[in-house]
A and B are shown apart, each in its own frame.
Chain A
Amino acid sequence: MIRRATRRIARRSRRVVRVARWEASRATGGVDRRTLLAAVAFLAVAGGVFGAGAATGTVGLDVDRDVYRVGVDPASPYADAVEGEPALTAVPIEEATLGSTVDLVVREVRGGGSGPADVFVRAVDTPKGEAAAASFREAVDAHNERLMAAESNGTAAFPVVVTLRYVSRGSALDDGRTVGDASTAGAASDADGSDDAGAAVDDGGDDGIRGDGDDVDTGAGSGTDDGDGGSNSGGSVDGDAVDGERGDDGRWFLGGGGTGDLAIPSIGGGAFGASSTGSPGSITPPFPFASLVLAFAFLVPMNFLAQAYGSSVLEERTNRRGEPLLVTPLSPAEIVAGKTLPYVAVAVAVTALIALVVGGGPISVLAVLPIAATFLAATFVGAVFARSFKELTFVTVAVSVLLTSYAFVPAIFTNVTPVALISPLTLVVFDLQGEAISVGEFLFATGPTAIAAALLFGLGLGVYREEDLFTQKPVTRKFLDALAVRLSAVGEGVRESPATGVAARLPRRARGPAAVAFLTACTIPFVFVAELLAVAVLFALPITVSIPVLLVVIAFVEEVAKSVHLYAGFERGVFARTDRVAIAVGLASGLGFFLAEKATAVVQAVGLTELYVGRAAFGSVAGVAGLSPLLLAGLFLAPLALHGVTASLSAVGARRDRTRYVLALAAATLVHAAYNVGVVSLHG
């Protein structure tokens, strides 16, 4: 049996490779040789310039390397901080002449006691000097962060002080300000104030040597919130102190005591105490610009690849050119796999090349592949559905814009929110930043995209047949065909296709409902992606607006996912048009959705439900601790009842006509939205 299966797989692989070789020769044969040579030459020159630039540090990540020279004692801990920042170059203190050989000098002056040394930082009084000082301060912050992260005792390294203050829920959250904001309270800050409504959490982040970054913002009198600041002077001199020490040729900053907006955080101080939170409008996130720009480079070739692939698929349909292929022993899946393989190979090669140039690793390549697959899958569906090259152009442009946005926009928030992980490109940014990625994060970021790509190919394959490929059916009819072809007959008097595969092993009466449930379950990745996208988009809005809109949007997306194939089944005569059949397929659809929805519990793995909007979107799988078993069982089964009822409602409309279906869908959406509001209220 295993041998037979192996032989079958080998035969299919040979067929796929044959088609792939032919597709590759066709694709390259369709381009004039001179044009091809010119393109290769251009790419070689461009790649050479970029590669040489990358190697010599004149382009890419190295544009800000060795910009400022800093005079520092090599024995000083500040020397390590300077070494760790590419923009800074350390110069031995004895060789440092401010304004001549260095832009900034760091001196440590140790008093008579055993206390820590006072640190004096002097910068040239020019814009470059100010920039050097700012860069130095960032370097020290980053160095501190690395030291704290390396500590074996994480609790000691990142102590957390929680101050509870009860305030009314209201505008303080909506306008993005944080409860306990350092600028107003001068003390504790809120790590995730949007969630806690009154609980102010302060990440002290002090290791007992120095104050932290909060002091920079508060400007005066801080250090009190630094937990165990202890004997250390947690802050820096204030503005007056700076002015008092100003020299003719530069500015002096004192790192030993007091506060000031130009304070230098000391070595060993945690930089984890950033208090900014809320919506993007109120925070200044640390956008990883360099990594983002390089990550974007991975997306650019996908657009060209999609264009070429879409044209190739549509050419098969033009003048029925591909009809003879359908008469060969190859299955549509083998034909499509063969046609797609060269483009996947090119995507892998190009992605690996880009990764090599920009410094990405295998993670970058593995993360980009699902994006490439989704580009190809969406283009394939578009090319199968499109009736002309004009329509295909519209489709490929839409695919390019949507997928590029989906991949790139969330990645901007890489260092801000776990929502960013809905894009596989975020993994690339992580990879380029040298940050570790957990298996859960990888699966969360790539899983939905990869599954969506597979399902899109499945959708397109449903209409990769003579009846749909070579006819001028409207896109909507082809879409319904593609869904209906995956269904099995339900009810009396409808035609029953011979069952194949797993369906053949099921009892005859179970095949129809099982197919409905399975097809509904297959929509989950799309529902998930759509809901994540809604969360990402609505994340920027005030919560008073975003939550109600989100609840309705989610209800609508889920109701469409549960019912559109039911409508296709009735329209294409797969289901008998009776209320009994409608309710049966509606319940099956609801069950399929309920079971598949549980897979979304993965959102907990990456902390998405810590966000308010995330909890609203995926509330059914989060925050149920502390409830009674009865209530827990009720909460567990309530979604099943909801999905069954609303899907049946839509199905009853769908079995009549399109207008009734739309009306029933709207009613089902309202019921579902009301349920969502109830759940969110219950969860608090």
Chain B
Amino acid sequence: MIAVDALEKTYGGFAAVVDSTFSVEEGEVFGIVGPNGAGKTTTLKVLAGLIEPTSGEARVAGYDSTDPAMRHHLGFLPEESPLYEEMTATSYLRFFADLYEVPRPVADERIERALDRLELDHRDRRLGDVSKGMKRKVAIARSLVNDPDVLVYDEPASGLDPVTTNSVLEFTRELRAAGKTVVFSAHNLYHVESVCDRVVIMNEGRIVARGTVEEIRERHGETTYHVYTDVPPAPASGGTEADADAVGDAEEVGDRYRTVVPSMDAVERVRGAASAAGGTVVDIRTREPSLEDVFLDLVGRPMPGRRGGGEAEGAE
């Protein structure tokens, strides 16, 4: 449904997207993640026909992305959703349906259905007077008035409260179930992990990883083992240097001590060190790498707006 080949976009001397190639199948939810300035939004705007590529090609629903005919098959949600605030939700959506030449009865039916599903109240209130979440929902409804095959969403849940965020993510899953192809970018990697079938990670305009979340995890992430002991593990006298490295960074967690190691061999060394210290292993947990771990590993810096690199206990 979407084919991007050797896409490049430069602004003067600045390369926003470099040699980007990927494809998206019909009915797939495809995620693009990356730090600020990675080229996500530029890529999405090329797909939406808003920006002409400097070189390369992007095809959407069988059309070149610069072909105006492509826009009949596309719904686009920009990162921000400033609306015409003097209009009501209904009149605003009708206006856009008119531009897509959707017959009025069909448009009204689609608008009603979208607004019902998105639980949008106050449909006849001026858009300047409704909440940010409401505005986002109206913007999402706008992307559907032409019943497009492809939806390009830039940060669809950005700045929304958790309830609205979940509603938007659930709605995205429903779009997939309805056979729509969805491409979206997100800062929040949990959103990507929970919704996307496949993902590309971009950094400084380039794609640095691609595949399903599992594939990326396997390819770029490491499984770690969290070994909990009742005493600080200490290497036995006469132990090897590897034994010393394995137990060197034990962390006190409540009344226990946690040692993170990369392999089962290291787990056994921690076990030996705990025995040598007069204690024992009380728990061992296996932790699969999250997309965020992989992301941090690949781009070498924390995600914007998130606390830097620390492991969240609840993620285990």
* Contact surface of A with B, Cβ cutoff 8 Å: 11, 14-15, 18-19, 22, 26, 29-30, 318-321, 323-331, 465-467, 495, 497-498
Contact = CB atoms under 8 A, between A and B. Distances in A.
B68 A329 contact: yes
Contact of A327 (B76, B80, B83): B76
Given A319-B80, A319-B82, A497-B52, 15 more contacts: A15-B99, A19-B99, A30-B86, A320-B78, A320-B80, A321-B84, A324-B139, A327-B50, A327-B71, A327-B74, A327-B76, A329-B69, A466-B50, A466-B51, A495-B54
B86 A324 contact: no
Contacts of B190: none
B95 interface: yes
Contacts of A30: 86
Chain B CB within 10 A, most for which of A30, A321, A465? A321
Interface in B44-101: 45, 48-52, 54-55, 66, 68-69, 71-72, 74, 76, 78, 80, 82-84, 86-87, 95-96, 98-101
Contact of B48 (A18, A19, A320, A327): A327
Contacts of A465: 50
B169 to A, nearest CB: 22
B83 A329 contact: no
Contacts, number: 61
A325 B48 CA distance: 12
A466 B100 contact: no
A328 B99 contact: yes
A26 B55 contact: no
A30 B76 CA distance: 26
A467 B55 CA distance: 16
16 contacts: A14-B101, A30-B86, A318-B82, A319-B80, A321-B82, A321-B84, A324-B142, A327-B48, A327-B74, A329-B71, A329-B101, A330-B99, A466-B45, A466-B50, A466-B51, A495-B54
B119 to A, nearest CB: 22
A374 B124 CA distance: 39
Contact of B95 (A22, A29, A467): A22
Contact of A324 (B72, B87, B96): B96
A486 B69 CA distance: 22
Contacts of B100: 328-329
Contacts of B72: 329
Contacts of B45: 466
Chain B CB within 10 A, most for which of A19, A29, A331? A29
B78 to A, nearest CB: 5
Contacts of A14: 101
Contact of A329 (B66, B86, B99): B99
Contacts of B95: 18, 22
B50 A26 contact: no
Contacts of A22: 95
Given A326-B50, A328-B71, A329-B71, A320 B82 contact: yes
A28 to B, nearest CB: 10
A495 B54 CA distance: 8
B2 to A, nearest CB: 15
A323 B154 CA distance: 13
Given A319-B80, A327-B49, A495-B55, A26 B99 contact: no
B170 to A, nearest CB: 23
A323 B55 contact: no
A412 B102 CA distance: 54
B22 to A, nearest CB: 21
Contact of A18 (B82, B87, B98): B98
A387 B69 CA distance: 31
B50 A331 contact: no
Contacts of A495: 54-55
A323 B86 contact: no
Contacts of A497: 52
